[in-house]
């Protein structure tokens, strides 16, 4: 069984993930981008258990520059997939700290991503892994991996334009 983390640190990291989810759900894109380190990687694998983002195609594999471009398209209504704008809810549960050296922590959680747009509600279940870096203001995301439970299911055009 993993070592029991400091309750205050555990709670602050969990609250940080809740805050990230709220920013995404409220479409507060610039504030969300500010949670990311400059060298962030955002990865949604295409295969269950995929070990590398560079050895196989991924649903998303983006750095901060690509994320900024995507956010710019969302803010300026330049994404046809995102009209009308989707409404989303992130539900986070089963939060655990996998590793923590005081400066950098790897945390995991299960979550549901619910999206409503054009009269259709879709639900995606996922396992999330975040690498958090401690800074003077709290935490910043250095890496985020989203393993969709049904990543390898034939879904046609995925149509997700907002960050999961």
Question: Residue 128: beta bridge partners?
Answer: 109, 146
Q: Output 63 or 73, whichever has higher pLDDT.
A: 63
- pLDDT over 90 (residue 6): no
Q: Output 156 or 70, whichever has higher pLDDT.
A: 70
Question: Residue 144: beta bridge partners?
Answer: 42, 130
- pLDDT over 60 (residue 2): no
- pLDDT over 80 (residue 48): yes
Q: Which of 114, 110, 135, 132 is nearest to 123 (CA)?
A: 114
Residue-wise over 104-143: b if at least 16 C-beta within 10 A, else e? ebbbbbbbebebebeeeeeebebebebbbebeeeebbbbb
Domains observed in the chain: 7-148 (3.10.450.50)
Mean pLDDT computed over every residue of the chain: 88
pLDDT at residue 79, as a whole number: 63
Q: Work out the average pLDDT over 62-87.
A: 81
Q: Give the pLDDT confidence of 85-95 residue by residue, as tens digits.
A: 889 999 999 99
Whether 148 and 124 have beta carbons less than 8 Å apart is answered as: yes
**φ, ψ of residue 53 in degrees (nearest 5):** -85, -15
Q: Output 97 or 161, whichever has higher pLDDT.
A: 97
Q: Give the pLDDT confidence of 138-164 residue by residue, as tens digits.
A: 999 999 999 999 887 776 545 565 677
């Amino acid at each position: 069984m993993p070592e029991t983390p400091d309750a205050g640190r555990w709670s602050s990291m969990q609250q940080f993930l809740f805050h990230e989810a709220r920013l995404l759900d409220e479409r507060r894109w610039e504030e969300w981008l500010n949670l990311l380190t400059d060298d962030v990687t955002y990865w949604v694998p295409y295969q269950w258990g995929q070990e590398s983002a560079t050895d196989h195609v991924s649903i998303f594999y983006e750095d901060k520059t690509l994320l900024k471009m995507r956010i710019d398209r969302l803010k300026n209504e330049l994404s046809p997939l995102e009209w009308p704008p989707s409404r989303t809810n992130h539900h986070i549960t089963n939060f655990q700290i996998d590793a923590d050296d005081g400066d950098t922590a790897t945390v995991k959680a299960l979550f549901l991503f619910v999206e409503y747009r054009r009269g259709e509600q879709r639900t995606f279940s996922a396992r999330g892994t975040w690498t958090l870096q401690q800074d003077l203001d709290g935490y910043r995301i250095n890496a985020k991996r989203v393993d969709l439970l049904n990543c390898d299911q034939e879904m046609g055009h995925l149509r997700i334009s907002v960050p999961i």
